[in-house]
Chain A
């Protein structure tokens, strides 16, 4: 990604870590817990373009937005604005630079002072930066309000007298008052209704056209990001997993996470039938992020171990069992739960002539055996059922390990079972942190599946010991 011209904004290895230590005593004893909210992000923003940043909640989007303008102090890395590193500026210099870099908040109501009128809110940055005074100022405020589509005669109103969309317009008017070069928009439309959302999005694109503003546009809604962005970055657990031109990233999606995000969007079309990719679980804790590729714990395209002869889906099911066993408290949680609740469940009323099932013993009799009392054989079946595994795995070596692990579970040695499986079934994704592979002009993906050593036939990495990189 070389660019002869210095971009407007160049971010290098930006990290923001928080301390979530419980109290003084813990800090004294060195029991600090670092939340790696933003963990090494790099990108460029060019003049007049919109960079979209998308990801689930908890992925560090807002931390990124705030760290860019040092509303939160970043822990490491640099943010170059026109070649000047913002992270090294003094507070006074930074204040001066904020004229060029503005911020639009998600919740317009809480970011607007309720005791100031619309005119005062928009006029304040003019005063702070000494941009207009006297009669000029009043004219400029009117002009700004009209620019964002508000009625200039409403300058005397307070924020609560405006609707949600109008308040966001007010927030935008405040941001453009100082004629900034860059506006960081943090979920600017997610609190708005659909019909109003599109108005605000159109306004942002009009302003871009008119004043040449560049946006860093942060949102969880992929549809919105796709619509507004020239380039996008997909974020997961404090890192970018993919970045590139919008079309290249989304059509078709490349990174498994991008693909899953895209697949999850409900399309307003009754006949549309999505890919149905569903991610399990939620974003892991940024205090102790997973090793290797951070997405590997949820990845539907996890790369199997090259030495294994198991089909990829079975291989992934076994690793799911390994992961659950590593965290489980008791074996019952690793087995199919006794009974199922259905309309025709004997505990329900559907087939109960009295209308009330008062006899709980009936529920017991129809239920599956209690795993803690079941025979070894039954227990084996219950574990396999919970994880969708067949009675015997097609790979003898794998079956041997699995059987041994189930034995351990049966003896209530959960930790041992977890370790056994964890060491026998290791994905390269777990061991290697994927570098960013350049897959196209300006398009990078952090996923081992784009390594030169990845064999698309077998779906495995050729040399499991080391990613080959990309030529």
Chain B
């Protein structure tokens, strides 16, 4: 199958995914009690029932859930993600402002994960069963097991409070692409990337040990190729197939992790916005961030499939 048809087919398959994700999120959101109006009413006991109803009507919070969903959906289909109810700010503007922060954090997390995991995985596989391998496996296992909110707090405690090397608070006044931002990015980035680094290390090691036992590796050695070529050109490339498969899942993990990590580090990204929006029952913001997240995961999966086919010639685009 050609790449173009593949892209087209995948793009089409996104539609039902997004539809499903939005419907489920919308439904779940309305299962939990309370909405912005009732929160306002709780603060101002003087508001009359009629006024309360009028406010609900205006914010589109009245009527059965499915009708609210359809109303939301029809707006989204024409590109209108609605407004934050209390402030009246456009949701798209909020998302656009917060998205780069999260993307930068996520990419940093990934870069950190790859930078650690690829060398560690290769080293462990090449030294299979020896001390370095055992050490890296213990570390990787701890990395997978440690919850990221705990890791974040420990890092803040050690590096910010005791050692004072890194600032605690986010760069609220610094532009995102300023070199100084890196200092702020480091701790949350490491926190969010640790789990991915550990998983990739483990998967790469296993895949690599397997590939190194393949006959073609013996054959490459029998041809007198240097060990460097055997490991990097031959075994590594084939091992990356399983890493790519994993990467899509891990991207979803990083996106989900950003909710917690951004809250711990007070990072002004989509994750922390998401938490606040849930708190304030801002349905439009929650829905928009959910959609963006779903799209990100879908794109990650798609990229993984493209890479997969590029790495393994036996796999076509289907």
Contact = CB atoms under 8 A, between A and B. Distances in A.
Tell me if chain B binds chain A. yes
Interface of A: 22-23, 25
B30 interface: no
A22 B9 CA distance: 14
- The B contact surface, by secondary structure, is loop
Contacts of A22: 1, 318
A387 B199 CA distance: 57
A23 B13 CA distance: 14
B104 to A, nearest CB: 38
Contacts of B318: 22-23
A22 B318 CA distance: 8
B1 to A, nearest CB: 8
Interface in B1-31: 1, 9
4 A-B pairs with least C-beta separation = A22-B318, A23-B318, A25-B9, A22-B1
Nearest to B9: A25
A22 B317 CA distance: 10
Contacts of B1: 22
A25 B6 CA distance: 11
A39 to B, nearest CB: 27
Contacts of A23: 318
A25 B10 CA distance: 12
Contacts of A25: 9
Nearest to A26: B318
B12 to A, nearest CB: 10
A18 to B, nearest CB: 18
A114 B194 CA distance: 40
Nearest to A25: B9
A22 B1 CA distance: 10
4 contacts: A22-B1, A22-B318, A23-B318, A25-B9
B4 to A, nearest CB: 14
Nearest to B5: A25
Nearest to A22: B318
Contacts of B9: 25
Nearest to B316: A22
B260 to A, nearest CB: 38
A34 to B, nearest CB: 19
A226 B318 CA distance: 45
A205 B318 CA distance: 50
B40 to A, nearest CB: 50
A23 B318 CA distance: 8
A311 to B, nearest CB: 44
B16 to A, nearest CB: 14
A23 B5 CA distance: 14
A25 B318 CA distance: 10
A25 B1 CA distance: 11
B50 to A, nearest CB: 55
A295 B9 CA distance: 41
A322 B9 CA distance: 40
A376 to B, nearest CB: 38
A80 B1 CA distance: 43
A25 B8 CA distance: 13
B307 to A, nearest CB: 20
B140 to A, nearest CB: 31
Interface in B88-103: none
A25 B12 CA distance: 12
A404 B122 CA distance: 60
Interface in B106-151: none
B132 to A, nearest CB: 33
B25 to A, nearest CB: 28
A113 B275 CA distance: 53
A268 to B, nearest CB: 28
A53 B200 CA distance: 50
A230 to B, nearest CB: 41
A355 to B, nearest CB: 16
B315 to A, nearest CB: 12
A23 B317 CA distance: 11
Interface in B184-214: none
A25 B9 CA distance: 10
Nearest to B1: A22
A360 to B, nearest CB: 20
B11 to A, nearest CB: 14
B304 to A, nearest CB: 18
A160 B9 CA distance: 47
